[in-house]
Chains A and B, each alone.
Chain A
Amino acid sequence: MSMGAEHQITAGFMPLFDSAVLVTAGEMGFAAREGIDLTLHRETSWANIRDRIAIGHFHLAHMLGPMPLACNLGLTPLASETIVPFSLGLGGNCVTISNAVWAGMAAHGAAPDLDPARAGAALGALIRERAGAGGDPLRFAVVHPHSGHNYELRYWLAGCGIDPEREIEIVIVPPPFMADALATGRIDGYCVGEPWNSASVAAGTGHIVTVKALLWRNSPEKVIGARKAWAEQSPEALAALLRALHHSARWCQDPGNHAELAGVMAQAGFLGLPPAVQMPILTGHLQLGGGTELDVDDFFLPFDKAANFPWKSHALWFYTQMVRWGHMAHTPQNLAIARDCYRPDLYRSALKPLGVALPGANAKVEGALKIATAVGATGAGLVLGPDGFFDGQIFDPDEIDAYVASQKSGLLRA
Chain B
Amino acid sequence: MPGMVRSALAVLVIDENRIRASIIEAGLREAGHERVTVIHDVTGIARRIAEIEPDVIVIDLENPNRDMLENMFQLSRAVKRPIAMFVDRSDQASIEASVDAGVSAYVVDGLRQERVKPILDMAVSRFNAFSRMARELEEVRGELESRKVIDRAKGILMKSRGLSEEAAYTLLRKTAMNQNRKISDIAQSLVTAAGLLGPSEDE
Whether the Cβ atoms of B70 and A47 lie closer than 8 Å is yes
Task: Tell me, rounded to whole Å, the shortest Cβ–Cβ distance linking A331 to chain B.
Answer: 21
Whether the Cβ atoms of B66 and A48 lie closer than 8 Å is yes
Complex interface bits, B42-61 against A, C-beta within 8 A gives 1, otherwise 0: 00000000000000000001
Query: Is B99 in the interface zone, CB < 8 Å from A?
Result: yes
Query: Is A171 in the interface zone, CB < 8 Å from B?
Result: yes
With both beta carbons as reference points, the residue of chain A lying nearest to B76 in the complex is identified as: A171
Q: Which listed residue (B62, B63, B68, B95) contacts A173, Cβ 8 A? A: B68
Binds B, one of A49-57, A98-106, A152-160, A239-247: A49-57
- Alpha-carbon distance A177/B63, docked complex (angstroms): 13
Interface residues of B (CB under 8 A from A): 61-68, 70-72, 75, 84-86, 89, 92, 95-96, 99, 104
With both beta carbons as reference points, the residue of chain A lying nearest to B71 in the complex is identified as: A172
Task: Tell me, rounded to whole Å, the shortest Cβ–Cβ distance linking A300 to chain B.
Answer: 22
Given A55-B95, A55-B96, A46-B67 contact (CB < 8 Å): yes
Task: Tell me, rounded to whole Å, the shortest Cβ–Cβ distance linking A15 to chain B.
Answer: 10
Interface residues of A (CB under 8 A from B): 44-48, 51-52, 55, 57, 77-78, 143-145, 171-174, 176-177
**What chain A residues lie within 8 Å of B75 (beta carbons)?**
145
Q: Which listed residue (A48, A77, A144, A173) contacts B86, Cβ 8 A? A: A77
- Alpha-carbon distance A172/B45, docked complex (angstroms): 13
3 tightest A-B contacts by CB? A77-B85, A45-B66, A172-B68
**What chain B residues lie within 8 Å of A77 (beta carbons)?**
84-86, 89
Of the listed residues A45, A55, A78, the one surrounded by the most CB atoms of chain B closer than 10 A to its CB is: A45
Task: Tell me, rounded to whole Å, the shortest Cβ–Cβ distance linking A165 to chain B.
Answer: 12
Secondary structure of the A contact surface, majority rule: loop
- Alpha-carbon distance A143/B65, docked complex (angstroms): 10
**What chain B residues lie within 8 Å of A177 (beta carbons)?**
64
- Alpha-carbon distance A175/B2, docked complex (angstroms): 45
**What chain A residues lie within 8 Å of B96 (beta carbons)?**
55
With both beta carbons as reference points, the residue of chain B lying nearest to A45 in the complex is identified as: B66
Task: Tell me, rounded to whole Å, the shortest Cβ–Cβ distance linking B105 to chain A.
Answer: 11
Whether the Cβ atoms of B64 and A174 lie closer than 8 Å is yes
With both beta carbons as reference points, the residue of chain A lying nearest to B97 in the complex is identified as: A55
Whether the Cβ atoms of B65 and A174 lie closer than 8 Å is yes
Q: Which listed residue (B63, B67, B84, B99) contacts A55, Cβ 8 A? A: B99
Whether the Cβ atoms of B71 and A51 lie closer than 8 Å is no
- Alpha-carbon distance A55/B68, docked complex (angstroms): 22
Task: Tell me, rounded to whole Å, the shortest Cβ–Cβ distance linking B103 to chain A.
Answer: 11
**Could you write out 10 A-B pairs with CB less than 8 Å apart?**
A44-B62, A44-B66, A45-B65, A45-B67, A47-B67, A55-B99, A57-B99, A144-B67, A145-B75, A174-B67
Whether the Cβ atoms of B68 and A48 lie closer than 8 Å is no
Task: Tell me, rounded to whole Å, the shortest Cβ–Cβ distance linking B60 to chain A.
Answer: 10
Task: Tell me, rounded to whole Å, the shortest Cβ–Cβ distance linking A7 to chain B.
Answer: 24
**What chain A residues lie within 8 Å of B65 (beta carbons)?**
45, 174
Whether the Cβ atoms of A78 and B86 lie closer than 8 Å is yes
With both beta carbons as reference points, the residue of chain B lying nearest to A175 in the complex is identified as: B64
**What chain A residues lie within 8 Å of B104 (beta carbons)?**
47, 51
**What chain A residues lie within 8 Å of B71 (beta carbons)?**
144-145, 171-172
Task: Tell me, rounded to whole Å, the shortest Cβ–Cβ distance linking B46 to chain A.
Answer: 10
- Alpha-carbon distance A409/B68, docked complex (angstroms): 31
Task: Tell me, rounded to whole Å, the shortest Cβ–Cβ distance linking A78 to chain B.
Answer: 6
Task: Tell me, rounded to whole Å, the shortest Cβ–Cβ distance linking B90 to chain A.
Answer: 12
Whether the Cβ atoms of B61 and A51 lie closer than 8 Å is yes
Task: Tell me, rounded to whole Å, the shortest Cβ–Cβ distance linking A153 to chain B.
Answer: 15
